[in-house]
Amino acid sequence: MAEPEVDAVWRAEFKRIGEQQLRDALNSGSGFTDELKRHAAFRWLGDEAEAQRLREEQTHHYVQWTLVATVAVVIVGLIGVGLTFLR
């Protein structure tokens, strides 16, 4: 494993390159001759995939609760309209 400072520089480079171009470079075999940097790239891609999964999970959670809240508001509104007609 590389020194933390070197790893941080590589991670910044990977972020500038972008996920797709980094994957292409790794798959072509010509992108990285340094084995430590190659392993760092795979770790960074894994970290990015995990971060993306967590963002999607959090978004799903918010959408789900927004839907529940919306349905609850509609039900309360319908009850209110029903009570208005009963008077």
- Count of helix runs (H) and strand runs (E) in the chain: 3, 0
Domains identified in the chain, total number: 1
Q: What is the pLDDT of residues 10-33, one digit of tens each?
A: 999 999 999 998 988 888 876 677
DSSP category for residue 31? S
Q: pTM score, two decimals?
A: 0.67
What are the pLDDT tens digits along the chain (87 aa)? 678 888 899 999 999 999 998 988 888 876 677 888 889 999 999 999 999 999 999 999 999 999 999 999 999 999 999 999 887
User: Range of 17's domain?
Assistant: 4-86
Per-residue tokens: 75: 């039900």
